[in-house]
Amino acid sequence: RAKFMDWIQENHAKIEKDALDHNDWNELGDIHAFLQVFHQISVRQGRENTLDEVLSHMDFLHHHFTRTKNRAFSGPRFYARFHVAWLKFEKYYQLTEQAPVYVAGILLHPALRKSYLSEQWKRNPAWVSNAVKAVRKIWSTEYKSYQLPDEQQEKGQELDEFDRWRQKVYSTASEVKDEFDRFIYGSQVGIGQQTALQWWLEPTQRENFPSSTVWLLTYSASPPCLRKQSESSQAQDGRLDGIEVACLPKW
């Protein structure tokens, strides 16, 4: 900037009204600061991001717009540009509520769940209820009734009398509350450096949330891992290994 200002002073007679004054520099500074955040998000989106990040990025940009709106602007020209950008962003931001796949990514993330939506969308509670309702519909129609094969059965081991009794008692206890509701209304769990998919692939999650594990693997993986219906049907038949391997690096 200093060198550019020196050049302006040296050539002021030639450029006259095109010279940048103090107010112009302030406006450019505001524009740069505002757009820098969009650049950061664009870089992140260009990487192998997950479905939960798509919605969280939009929520962050909404926060960025709101924070900028409440600041003192450098001039009316910046405000005019900001207002047009705000209207366009709001149009697409409101459409995210109509995309259950992105909401599912949030609800099935152990560190986010419904608590995230309740906090980020608290200005519009109807968004939360409608979004959860849409995701629950997918859960009820496509995944609720699916159960992962029992490990002993997978290994060809016959269940003895106690195992059959325990299976019946434990499954009855777990059905007291719908598996989907049990998870999304549960406490948020920090997963450290783990990805959400790595967390779901743990044996404990497979045992506690068998149907949700299948859902996570076949439906709420990262965008590059979204499978065609034929691949999803293979996963529902119990052949999850290929999808697990393909999706693991993406989370």
Mean pLDDT by 10-residue block, N- to C-terminus, for the chain (251 residues)?
A: 68 68 80 92 79 90 88 74 91 83 91 95 91 91 70 59 76 64 92 86 84 70 41 41 37 36
**Last-in-domain residue among 80, 98, 116:** 98
> What pLDDT was estimated at residue 152?
45
Distance separating alpha carbons of residues 200 and 206, to the nearest angstrom? 7
Q: Is residue 154 part of a domain?
A: no
- Cα 241 to Cα 138, 193, 234: the distances in Å are 23, 23, 10
Residue 221 resides in a domain: yes
pTM exceeds 0.75: no
Please name the residue that has the structure tokens 């002073």.
9
Burial class (CB in 10 A: 0-12, 13-18, 19+), 81: middle
Question: Is residue 19 one of the residues assigned to a domain?
Answer: yes
pLDDT in the model for residue 103: 92
Tell me how many domains the chain contains.
Answer: 2
Same domain, yes or no, for 13 and 52?
yes
The pLDDT value recorded for residue 76 is 79
Pair 111, 198: CB distance under 8 Å: no
| Residue 172: per-residue pLDDT | 54
Residues 83 and 195 in one domain: no
Domain that holds residue 118: 105-149+164-250
Task: Give every CB contact of residue 142 below 8 A, 6+ residues apart in sequence.
Answer: 215, 219
- Residues 120, 200: one domain? yes
Cα of 15 vs its chain's centroid, Å: 49
Same domain for 94 and 143? no
Q: Which residues contact 92 (CB under 8 A, 6 or more apart)?
A: 58
In this prediction, residue 53 carries a pLDDT of 87
Phi/psi zone of residue 169: left (φ > 0), alpha (ψ -120 to 50 degrees), beta?
alpha
Cα–Cα distance, 64 to 183 (Å, whole number): 30
Shared domain for 139 and 217, answered yes or no, is: yes
User: What's the confidence (pLDDT) of residue 73?
Assistant: 64
Which domain-ending residue is among 58, 82, 98? 98
